[in-house]
Amino acid sequence: MPVDVYCLTDALHANALRCGNDRALIWISPADPNHARSVTWSELNRWVGALARRLVETTSIRFADDGETEHRRISHAVENHSDDVLMALACQAAGIVEFPIDASGGQPYVQACRNRADADWIDQSSKHQLVCQAWEHRDCGDVSLGTPTAIAPQRDALVLWTSGTTGEPNGVVLSHASLLCNAQAKLSAVPQTREDRRLTVLSIAHAYARTCDLGTWLLSGCELAIARGYEGWTALAETYQPTHCNSVPSLASRILHDGPLPDSLRVLGCGGAALAAADFEAWRQRDVAVVQGYGLTESGPVISSQTPADCIAGFAGRLVSGWEHRIEQDRLWVRGAHQMSRYWMDPHSTKQRIDAQDWLDTGDLVRICDDSGQLQILGRSDDRLVLSNGYKVDPMCIEKRLQSILGVRTAVITINPDGRSVDAWFEMQDAGASPPSTGAILSTHPSWEQPRQLRTFTIPPQDRESLFNRKGSIRRQPMLRFLSHIAQSQS
């Protein structure tokens, strides 16, 4: 009997019914990487059910940030182990709001996210213990195979962290319906079958992998293995022989030039920023379709996506199904079931991003190509920096903190030449002073917002008016050109 799908864990139940003996997940123990287990959809469904029951037993009920809805909340650091996949599925199956945190952001960042979540914390050891216990008890009790969940689709499911304009991480609240809708739209653009093998190497604490890896895996019934970054790719690519993998430009380039390239790979997703045209062509020569897309955490994340049949360098595909859109002075607004409901405990920021008619302001400047119908991203309407590893950085909040340091007159954040990190430039009140230490004042920022280089600069009096507005704020583009000229002259 067909199973109605109202949330992603309903797809898990459906796979257990339709293809229960097919392989679903390669589970690799975080405690022993040599200990791997091939898990079928039927086993995975029972395992998730057992873990969901344990999580309900060990978590407390809290009120939502609106003060009205009662629910359970769990926060944990994500290292991209198989245990993290089990936690993600079990939280949704149990109706628990999950607050995953990217462990690579560093301990102060993890703690800052924990503080904002106000959720039950599960550390790595406890997580692994719960997952192993659930495996041992997977055949105990009713697992409700094939029965759609009773969870309301509009209920909060997941809170993902993004850079906030105040310097503190901001939680993006996504519902069960938005997660399902966005994954369905992405799967329509980039189809998968049960015969495909997906290797996840991007953090599932972020929207890209959460939707385009986990979401499409569940809906398609294909097979999944999970690791992290280039090291994860090199560890698994040749033995696992993936057909699909998602990446960001810096990772795609490194795999292309340095990594093992199994003949099995057919589709390489690339998001976060545009892949260089030369790398795009090199992948094409290897018969790998590089599927580029565009989105943001607040949109679930996918707004547009190419398909394997219409990959074009420099473009980001057509809008996926379910979105309305409008473009005003090149600025893109979207509206649809995909988008977030709100920022966690931040109604002010929510109102700044979503207007009274539910239009979500992407903050991006775009155009739609007359010939292909695909989006071309022209840039940001604000000052946000987009790194080649997919992370986005709001420089103004960092600069405000750095300018509070005694002796600093001006601070400017730029992208490091490696494209993966940022640099901090300081105009000191004492022109001969060295740049200050930034570790303490930026301790709660994630690692990708920690400056790699600290540099000083001076501004000739005749140039100051062109680099600052009347309020004393930085004129971003002239300042970046000014600093680029200094960097070139010093190299």
pLDDT digits (tens, 9 = 90+) for 329-371: 899 999 999 999 999 999 999 999 999 999 999 999 999 999 9
Poorest-pLDDT segment among 62-66, 115-119, 176-180: 62-66
Calculate what percentage of the chain has a pLDDT beyond 90.
Answer: 76
Which pLDDT belongs to residue 400? 82
Which pLDDT score, from 0 to 100, does residue 145 have? 36
pLDDT of 471 > 70? The answer is no
Q: Which domains does the chain have, with CATH numbers?
A: 8-380 (3.40.50.12780), 394-490 (3.30.300.30)
For residue 10, the Cα-to-chain-centroid distance in whole angstroms is 23
Instruction: Tell which residue, 73, 160, 158, 55, has the closest CA to residue 113.
Output: 160
CB-facing half-sphere around the CA of 39: CA atoms within 13 A: 29
* Residue showing tokens 């060990």: 58
Number of neighbouring beta carbons within 10 Å of residue 58: 13
Place of tokens 């400017």: 412
Report in angstroms the alpha-carbon separations of 219 from 27, 285, 408: 19, 30, 53
pLDDT at 132 over 90: yes
Lowest mean pLDDT among 67-81, 103-117, 308-322, 342-356: 67-81
Cβ-based burial of 263 (10 A; exposed 0-12, middle 13-18, buried ≥19): exposed
Q: Is the CB of residue 74 less than 8 Å from the CB of residue 51?
A: no
Could you tell me which of 155, 422, 172 has the C-alpha nearest to residue 296? 172
Structure confidence at residue 489 (pLDDT): 87
Q: Which residue has the tokens 């079958």?
A: 193
Q: How confident is the model at residue 490 (pLDDT cuts 50, 70, 90)?
A: confident
Distances (CA, A) of 22 to 144, 201, 301: 19, 22, 29
Q: Check residue 288 and give its pLDDT.
A: 98
Return all residues near 246 (Cβ < 8 A) that are at least 6 apart: 200, 201, 202, 208, 209, 212, 213, 268, 269, 270, 271
What's the mean pLDDT in 401-415?
Answer: 92
Q: What percent of the chain has pLDDT over 70?
A: 96
Kindly report the backbone phi and psi dihedral angles of residue 48, in degrees, each rounded to the nearest multiple of 5, phi listed first. Answer: -65, -40
Work out the burial of residue 111: count CB atoms within 10 Å of its CB; fewer than 13 is exposed, 13-18 middle, 19 or more buried. middle
Contact, 182 vs 301, CB < 8 A?
A: yes
State the number of CA atoms in the 13 A half-sphere of 220 facing the CB: 26
Residue 69 has pLDDT above 80, yes or no: no
Is 398:442 a contact under the CB 8 Å cutoff? yes
Tell me which H or E stretch contains 375. strand 375-380
pLDDT value at 268 more than 60: yes
Mean pLDDT score of the chain: 92
Name the band, by pLDDT with cuts 50, 70 and 90, for residue 144.
Answer: very low
The stretch 414-437 carries a mean pLDDT of 94
Q: How many H-runs (helices) and E-runs (strands) does the chain carry?
A: 15, 25
Q: What is the pLDDT of residue 470?
A: 60
Give the integer Cα–Cα distance in Å for 87 and 132: 12
Single-letter amino acid code for the residue at 40: T
Torsion angle, alpha carbons of 188, 193, 198, 203, to 10 = 30
For residue 143, the model assigns a pLDDT of 45
Taking residue 140's Cβ as centre, other Cβ atoms within 10 Å add up to 12
Sheet bearing 453-456, strands edge to edge: 408-415, 422-428, 453-456
The residue whose two tokens read 């055949």 is 139
